[in-house]
Amino acid sequence: MKVFDELFHSLRLRIFLVVLIVGIVPIICLKFGVLRSYEDEMISDRSIEIQTQCNSVSNQLITYNYLYDPSSEKVNAELAQLSNIYDGRIIIVDSTLRIIKDTYSLDEDKTILSSEVIKCFQGENTIRYDEKNRYIELTVPVMDNMTGKEQSIVGVMLVSASADSIMVTLEDLTTKLNLLEVVAAIIVILIAVIFSKSIVNPFLKMTDSIAEWGEDVDEEAVSKTMTEFTETHLIAESFASLLSKMKSVDKTRQEFVSNVSHELKTPLTSMKVLADSITAMGDAPAELYKEFMTDMSEEIDRENKIINDLLSLVKMDKTEAKPQIQSMSVNDLIEVIMKRLRPIAKKRNIELVFESFREVTAEIDEVKFTLAISNLVENAIKYNIENGWVHVSLNADHKDMYIVVADSGIGIPEDSINDIFERFYRVDKSHSREIGGTGLGLAIAKNAILMHHGTIKVSSKVGEGTKFTARVPLSYIE
Ligand code: ADP
């Protein structure tokens, strides 16, 4: 049920429901509150009114000595009128709890044992509202007001008055309030529809315009459509930045692929030229063949080196390929590298020195770490001058080790220094090629150092020399 699922998860529906609940619940509460307090007030007003009238009747009861002789026409007429007005019943009880008058003439001469009556004799008036049967029941004391004496309660009037008329007014009010409630509910629904629409609209607009975005998303395209809410504007901006990042990744990838193809093609082209020219020569002397074959073999070696370097890079790029970390002596490792490279340095009479400030043991991936240091030292030899020097030093503090590879070589121009770690970047392409460079050595070295969560820095002066400093943590952090 995709439609229901979408509807249920729709932001608009949720905002609509929230506004609806927030709007309608108070209206309903208000209605019941108004009705309740109005009802309470009317019952209390009516009770006071009855009490006042009963007080004046109770005075007459004393005047006409009614408690002892309930035959007074005037009082009886008054009682009948009163019970008529309130559509109720009046019972008069004397001090012996005997009913001496009942306007319904049902219980006269009987004894009443109602708690209200007893309480009234004790000086406590009660007013009770029977909600179910809709009548008000109250007691009024009949006071003996003989002058010079303390007033005493000589009888009690027990009055039950119908609350039907109050209910009629209340029902009338309920109808009006219901009408008001319906009107208010319609207004709230309208507000909820408009409000939820106005909140959701910028998001829909944003979705539409993002779908319309082409290859190039400039600031203008972002700001033009997304100005209504700060939040939507921020989302649009993040999208734009994500898109530009993706474009840049794509550009780098394309550049890389075209660089790779170009680099791989160069040795092949040379080989093709060599092969074609020797074939075109017809009867060439055996020495020439040999020379051409040697050249071709060199080109094959070159092709091989590029492929091997690329494979090393690709291996390090794979994030899932876990480094083979083990704790080992970095001093020994560098010694081995130096030993391997010494013959190459010797060819150009370059002095190769390793200076170790202390014994350093670290958690490293032997193969990748060796690759990084070898490339740095190899470069220091390759881009050096005849009779120059290469200084490698190793030091450490409690956390990191520092490897410095300094040389007395040709140096790197300032405007190239930020690019040398890029794949296939070479300051002087033909020179690099001549000495067998692929342009991948420093990219490999940097990747290997980063893999160990380290950093690599370079400083250089043309004609004076170059210094690479690698900082690598002694313990490997996963
Ligand atoms: P390559 O295979 O060409 O040596 P690298 O990635 O190792 O590629 O180095 C990139 C470029 O940086 C080199 O072509 C070279 O121009 C420059 N470079 C690297 N190391 C040094 C150095 N020690 N002295 C001078 N230039 C250097």
Contact 466, 458 (CB under 8 A): yes
Which residues does ligand 1 sit against, CB inside 6 Å?
A: 375, 379-380, 383, 407, 409-412, 420, 425-428, 432, 437-443, 466
Ligand 1 centre to CA of 78 (Å) is 124
* pLDDT above 70 for 224: no
Q: Which atom of ligand 1 is nearest to the CA of 409?
A: 24
Is-contact 156 117, C-beta < 8 A?
yes
Query: Coil, helix or strand for 99?
Result: strand
pLDDT (0 to 100) of residue 235 = 82
Q: Sorting pLDDT into bands at 50, 70 and 90, what band is 216?
A: low
Beta strand pairing call for 455-461 and 465-473: antiparallel
What ligand 1 atom has the least distance to the C-alpha of 380?
23
Cα(434) to centroid(ligand 1), Å: 12
Does residue 186 have a pLDDT over 80? yes
Higher per-residue confidence, 372 vs 259: 372
The better pLDDT of the pair 435, 469 is held by 469
For residues 310 and 440, the answer to whether their CB atoms sit within 8 Å is yes
- Residue 270 clears pLDDT 60, i.e. is over it: yes
Rounded CA separation 400/45 (Å) = 90
Rounded to two decimals, what is the model's pTM? 0.58
The residue whose CA is least distant from atom 19 of ligand 1 is 379
Distance, CA of 440 to CA of 459 (rounded, Å): 19
CA–CA distances in Å: residue 25 to residues 39, 175, 180:
21, 18, 14
What is the model's pLDDT at position 430? 79
Report whether pLDDT(305) > 80: yes
Q: Is the pLDDT of residue 466 over 80?
A: yes
Q: Which atom of ligand 1 is nearest to 407's Cα?
A: 23
Q: Whose CA is nearest to atom 13 of ligand 1?
A: 426
Q: What is the pLDDT of residue 219?
A: 65
Predicted confidence band of residue 136 (pLDDT cuts 50, 70, 90): very high
- Residue 181 pLDDT level (bands cut at 50, 70, 90): very high
Give the position, in ligand 1's atom list, of the atom nearest the Cα of 444: 6
CA distance 27 to 405: 80
CA of 256 to the centre of ligand 1 (A): 18
Q: What is the pLDDT of residue 435?
A: 78
Sorting pLDDT into bands at 50, 70 and 90, what band is 225? low
Nearest ligand 1 atom, CA 432: 3
Q: How remote is the CA of residue 183 from the centroid of ligand 1, in Å?
A: 81
Contact between 342 and 352 (Cβ < 8 Å): yes
CA separation for the pair 35, 174 (Å, rounded): 7
Confidence bin at 218 (pLDDT 50/70/90): low
Distance 459 CA to ligand 1 centre (A): 13
Expressed in angstroms and rounded, the spacing between residue 427 Cα and the centre of ligand 1 is 7
Which of 418, 348, 358 has its CA nearest to residue 380?
348
Q: Is the pLDDT of residue 242 over 70?
A: yes
Check: CB of residue 391 under 8 Å from CB of residue 366.
no
88-101 pLDDT tens trace: 899 999 989 999 99
| The pLDDT value given to residue 441 | 92
pLDDT, position 337: 96
**Does 405 have pLDDT greater than 80?**
yes
Residue 311 has pLDDT above 70, yes or no: yes
Please return the burial class of 75, using the count of CB atoms within 10 Å of its CB with bins 0-12, 13-18 and 19+.
buried
- How far apart, in Å, do the first and last CA atoms of the chain sit? 44
- Furthest-apart CA atoms within the chain: distance in Å: 165
Nearest CA to ligand 1 atom 4: 437
Selected residue with higher pLDDT from 161 and 144: 161
Q: What percent of the chain is helix, strand and coil (3-state, nearest 5)?
A: 55, 20, 25
Distance 155 CA to ligand 1 centre (A): 121
What's the confidence (pLDDT) of residue 404?
Answer: 98
pLDDT at 161 (0 to 100): 92
- 408-425 average pLDDT score: 93
pLDDT reading at 460 higher than 60: yes
Q: How far is the CA of 264 from the centre of ligand 1 (A)?
A: 19
Q: Which tokens hold the place of 52?
A: 């006042």
3-class SS of residue 397: coil
Distance from the alpha carbon of residue 397 to the mean position of ligand 1, in angstroms:
29
- Length of the chain equals 478
Residues whose CB falls within 8 Å of the CB of residue 418, separated by 6 or more in sequence, listed in order: none
149-163, 309-323, 432-446: which has the minimum mean pLDDT? 309-323
Closest residue CA from atom 20 of ligand 1: 379
**Tokens 């690698």 appear where?**
470
Nearest CA to ligand 1 atom 8: 439
Mutation choice for ligand 1 from 309, 383, 415, 461, CB with most ligand atoms inside 8 A: 383
CA of 355 to the centre of ligand 1 (A): 23
Of all atoms in ligand 1, which is nearest to the CA of residue 436? 2
The answer to whether residue 227 scores a pLDDT higher than 60 is: no
Ligand 1 atom with the shortest distance to the CA of 384: 24
Q: Please give the distance of CA 198 from its chain centroid, rounded to a whole number.
A: 22
Instruction: Let me know how many helices (H) and strands (E) the chain has, helices first.
Output: 12, 12
Q: Is the pLDDT of residue 436 over 80?
A: no
| 262 alpha carbon – ligand 1 mean position (Å) | 19
Token pair listed for 309 = 């370097």
Band (pLDDT 50/70/90 cuts) for residue 356 is very high
| Per-residue CA distances from 290 to 278, 298, 340, 379 (Å) | 10, 12, 30, 31
The β-bridge relationship of strands 351-356 and 389-396 is parallel
Distance CA 137, CA 129 (A): 6
Ligand 1 mean position to 442 CA, how many Å? 7
Q: Two tokens at 372?
A: 């990084």
Ligand 1: nearest atom to the Cα of 421: 6
Query: Residue 289 and residue 444: Cα distance in Å, rounded?
Result: 37
Which residue's alpha carbon is at the smallest distance from atom 2 of ligand 1? Answer: 437
Tell me the mean pLDDT in the region 8-16: 89
Could you tell me the distance, in angstroms and rounded to a whole number, from the CA of residue 443 to the centre of ligand 1? 10
Q: Which of 379, 389, 422 to mutate to test the pocket of ligand 1 (most atoms within 8 A of CB)?
A: 379
Atom in ligand 1 nearest the alpha carbon of residue 438? 2
